[in-house]
Copies of this chain bind each other. A is one copy, B any other.
Protein backbone atom coordinates (compact mmCIF):
# COMPACT_ATOMS: atom_id res chain seq x y z
CA UNK A 1 0.00 0.00 0.00
CA UNK A 2 1.90 2.97 -1.28
CA UNK A 3 0.65 6.46 -0.46
CA UNK A 4 0.93 8.93 -3.30
CA UNK A 5 -1.16 11.82 -2.03
CA UNK A 6 -4.79 12.81 -2.48
CA UNK A 7 -6.68 11.89 -5.62
CA UNK A 8 -6.41 15.22 -7.51
CA UNK A 9 -2.66 15.17 -6.82
CA UNK A 10 -2.22 11.59 -8.01
CA UNK A 11 -4.16 12.41 -11.16
CA UNK A 12 -1.89 15.37 -11.95
CA UNK A 13 1.17 13.16 -11.36
CA UNK A 14 -0.21 10.48 -13.69
CA UNK A 15 -0.94 12.99 -16.45
CA UNK A 16 2.44 14.71 -16.11
CA UNK A 17 4.24 11.35 -16.18
CA UNK A 18 2.82 10.76 -19.68
CA UNK A 19 5.02 13.58 -21.01
CA UNK A 20 8.18 12.44 -22.79
CA UNK A 21 11.25 12.41 -20.54
CA UNK A 22 9.16 12.90 -17.38
CA UNK A 23 9.20 9.87 -15.07
CA UNK A 24 7.05 9.17 -12.02
CA UNK A 25 9.50 10.93 -9.69
CA UNK A 26 9.86 14.06 -11.87
CA UNK A 27 6.09 14.20 -12.30
CA UNK A 28 5.64 14.17 -8.52
CA UNK A 29 8.24 16.93 -8.16
CA UNK A 30 6.48 19.04 -10.82
CA UNK A 31 3.06 18.49 -9.22
CA UNK A 32 4.42 19.52 -5.80
CA UNK A 33 5.95 22.61 -7.38
CA UNK A 34 2.57 23.46 -8.93
CA UNK A 35 0.71 22.92 -5.64
CA UNK A 36 3.10 25.32 -3.92
CA UNK A 37 3.33 27.87 -6.73
CA UNK A 38 1.75 31.19 -5.99
CA UNK A 39 -0.55 33.42 -7.95
CA UNK A 40 -2.18 32.39 -11.18
CA UNK A 41 0.65 30.32 -12.65
CA UNK A 42 -1.07 26.91 -12.61
CA UNK A 43 -4.22 28.40 -14.12
CA UNK A 44 -2.15 30.15 -16.80
CA UNK A 45 -0.27 26.94 -17.58
CA UNK A 46 -3.49 24.92 -17.80
CA UNK A 47 -5.04 27.51 -20.12
CA UNK A 48 -1.94 27.72 -22.30
CA UNK A 49 -1.96 23.92 -22.71
CA UNK A 50 -5.70 23.76 -23.43
CA UNK A 51 -5.17 26.53 -26.02
CA UNK A 52 -2.53 24.44 -27.78
CA UNK A 53 -5.03 21.90 -29.07
CA UNK A 54 -7.74 24.50 -29.59
CA UNK A 55 -5.69 27.00 -31.59
CA UNK A 56 -2.69 25.28 -33.16
CA UNK A 57 -3.22 23.57 -36.52
CA UNK A 58 -0.96 22.78 -39.42
CA UNK A 59 -0.36 25.47 -42.02
CA UNK A 60 -2.24 24.51 -45.23
CA UNK A 61 0.79 25.41 -47.35
CA UNK A 62 3.94 24.28 -45.52
CA UNK A 63 2.39 22.04 -42.78
CA UNK A 64 4.37 23.85 -40.10
CA UNK A 65 2.55 24.96 -36.95
CA UNK A 66 0.04 27.77 -37.40
CA UNK A 67 -2.73 29.47 -35.49
CA UNK A 68 -4.31 30.75 -38.69
CA UNK A 69 -4.94 28.87 -41.97
CA UNK A 70 -1.50 29.85 -43.19
CA UNK A 71 1.53 30.30 -40.94
CA UNK A 72 3.45 33.54 -40.45
CA UNK A 73 6.32 32.42 -42.66
CA UNK A 74 4.07 31.46 -45.60
CA UNK A 75 2.25 34.80 -45.28
CA UNK A 76 5.47 36.83 -45.14
CA UNK A 77 5.83 38.64 -48.51
CA UNK A 78 9.54 39.29 -47.88
CA UNK A 79 10.44 35.58 -48.10
CA UNK A 80 12.06 34.09 -51.20
CA UNK A 81 9.43 32.07 -53.10
CA UNK A 82 12.09 30.39 -55.22
CA UNK A 83 13.59 28.47 -52.31
CA UNK A 84 11.88 25.74 -50.27
CA UNK A 85 13.54 24.05 -47.32
CA UNK A 86 12.19 20.54 -46.67
CA UNK A 87 12.38 19.33 -43.05
CA UNK A 88 11.06 16.32 -41.16
CA UNK A 89 9.40 18.03 -38.18
CA UNK A 90 8.12 21.44 -37.04
CA UNK A 91 10.98 21.46 -34.51
CA UNK A 92 13.46 21.23 -37.42
CA UNK A 93 11.78 24.22 -39.07
CA UNK A 94 12.28 26.19 -35.85
CA UNK A 95 15.91 25.08 -35.62
CA UNK A 96 16.62 26.27 -39.18
CA UNK A 97 14.79 29.54 -38.52
CA UNK A 98 16.75 30.12 -35.35
CA UNK A 99 20.01 29.75 -37.27
CA UNK A 100 19.09 33.03 -38.98
CA UNK A 101 20.68 31.83 -42.26
CA UNK A 102 17.58 31.10 -44.30
CA UNK A 103 15.06 33.46 -45.89
CA UNK A 104 13.13 31.09 -48.17
CA UNK A 105 9.96 29.05 -47.58
CA UNK A 106 9.55 25.71 -45.78
CA UNK A 107 7.85 22.37 -46.24
CA UNK A 108 7.37 20.01 -43.27
CA UNK A 109 7.12 16.32 -44.23
CA UNK A 110 6.01 15.18 -40.74
CA UNK A 111 8.36 12.24 -40.57
CA UNK A 112 10.86 10.36 -42.67
CA UNK A 113 10.67 7.18 -44.72
CA UNK A 114 10.96 4.16 -42.42
CA UNK A 115 9.72 1.09 -44.29
CA UNK A 116 10.50 -1.19 -41.33
CA UNK A 117 8.16 0.87 -39.17
CA UNK A 118 5.57 0.92 -41.94
CA UNK A 119 6.13 4.61 -42.77
CA UNK A 120 5.91 5.02 -46.55
CA UNK A 121 5.75 8.16 -48.74
CA UNK A 122 1.96 8.20 -48.39
CA UNK A 123 2.36 8.97 -44.66
CA UNK A 124 4.50 12.04 -45.37
CA UNK A 125 3.58 15.36 -46.96
CA UNK A 126 5.46 14.42 -50.14
CA UNK A 127 2.52 14.55 -52.54
CA UNK A 128 1.67 17.99 -51.11
CA UNK A 129 5.22 19.18 -51.83
CA UNK A 130 5.02 18.01 -55.45
CA UNK A 131 1.64 19.72 -55.87
CA UNK A 132 3.05 22.85 -54.33
CA UNK A 133 6.04 23.25 -56.63
CA UNK A 134 4.07 22.35 -59.78
CA UNK A 135 4.15 25.30 -62.18
CA UNK A 136 5.76 27.59 -59.58
CA UNK A 137 9.08 29.39 -60.04
CA UNK A 138 10.96 27.23 -57.52
CA UNK A 139 14.70 27.46 -58.23
CA UNK A 140 15.88 25.07 -55.54
CA UNK A 141 14.62 22.77 -52.83
CA UNK A 142 16.98 22.46 -49.85
CA UNK A 143 16.65 18.98 -48.35
CA UNK A 144 17.22 19.44 -44.63
CA UNK A 145 16.09 16.03 -43.40
CA UNK A 146 18.26 14.49 -40.66
CA UNK A 147 21.60 12.94 -41.64
CA UNK A 148 20.55 9.43 -40.56
CA UNK A 149 19.45 6.41 -42.59
CA UNK A 150 15.78 7.45 -42.75
CA UNK A 151 16.54 11.11 -43.42
CA UNK A 152 19.01 10.25 -46.19
CA UNK A 153 16.55 7.86 -47.83
CA UNK A 154 13.83 10.50 -47.62
CA UNK A 155 16.10 13.17 -49.14
CA UNK A 156 17.01 10.80 -51.98
CA UNK A 157 13.38 9.91 -52.64
CA UNK A 158 12.17 13.51 -52.64
CA UNK A 159 15.11 14.68 -54.81
CA UNK A 160 14.29 12.01 -57.38
CA UNK A 161 10.63 13.05 -57.64
CA UNK A 162 11.55 16.74 -57.82
CA UNK A 163 14.12 15.99 -60.51
CA UNK A 164 11.39 14.37 -62.61
CA UNK A 165 9.60 17.71 -62.45
CA UNK A 166 12.80 19.51 -63.44
CA UNK A 167 13.43 21.02 -60.02
CA UNK A 168 16.93 21.23 -58.54
CA UNK A 169 17.54 19.86 -55.07
CA UNK A 170 20.37 20.51 -52.65
CA UNK A 171 21.32 18.78 -49.41
CA UNK A 172 22.49 20.54 -46.25
CA UNK A 173 26.23 20.08 -45.58
CA UNK A 174 27.30 17.28 -43.27
CA UNK A 175 30.66 17.29 -41.52
CA UNK A 176 32.46 18.21 -38.34
CA UNK A 177 30.27 20.51 -36.21
CA UNK A 178 31.59 24.05 -35.66
CA UNK A 179 33.66 24.18 -32.48
CA UNK A 180 34.05 20.39 -32.63
CA UNK A 181 37.25 18.39 -32.53
CA UNK A 182 38.37 15.90 -35.17
CA UNK A 183 39.64 13.71 -32.37
CA UNK A 184 36.13 13.26 -31.00
CA UNK A 185 34.25 13.07 -34.31
CA UNK A 186 32.81 9.67 -35.21
CA UNK A 187 34.31 7.86 -38.21
CA UNK A 188 31.25 8.23 -40.44
CA UNK A 189 31.11 12.00 -39.92
CA UNK A 190 34.84 12.38 -40.48
CA UNK A 191 34.72 10.23 -43.64
CA UNK A 192 31.88 12.40 -44.91
CA UNK A 193 33.72 15.61 -44.05
CA UNK A 194 36.71 14.42 -46.06
CA UNK A 195 34.69 13.13 -49.00
CA UNK A 196 32.78 16.44 -49.19
CA UNK A 197 35.77 18.72 -48.71
CA UNK A 198 35.57 22.08 -50.49
CA UNK A 199 38.14 24.11 -52.30
CA UNK A 200 39.79 26.54 -49.93
CA UNK A 201 41.12 29.64 -51.67
CA UNK A 202 43.42 32.03 -49.89
CA UNK A 203 43.76 35.40 -51.55
Which residues of A approach B to under 8 Å, CB–CB?
1-9, 11-12, 14-16, 18-21, 26, 28-35, 41-56, 64-68, 71-73, 89-91, 94, 97-98, 100
Contacts and interface: CB of A to CB of B under 8 A. Distances in A.
B49 A34 contact: yes
Contacts of A4: 94, 98
A7 B41 CA distance: 18
B50 A6 contact: no
B56 A9 contact: yes
B56 A6 contact: yes
B67 A52 contact: no
A69 B174 CA distance: 61
Contacts of A35: 52-53, 56, 65, 90
A42 B51 CA distance: 9
Contacts of A66: 6
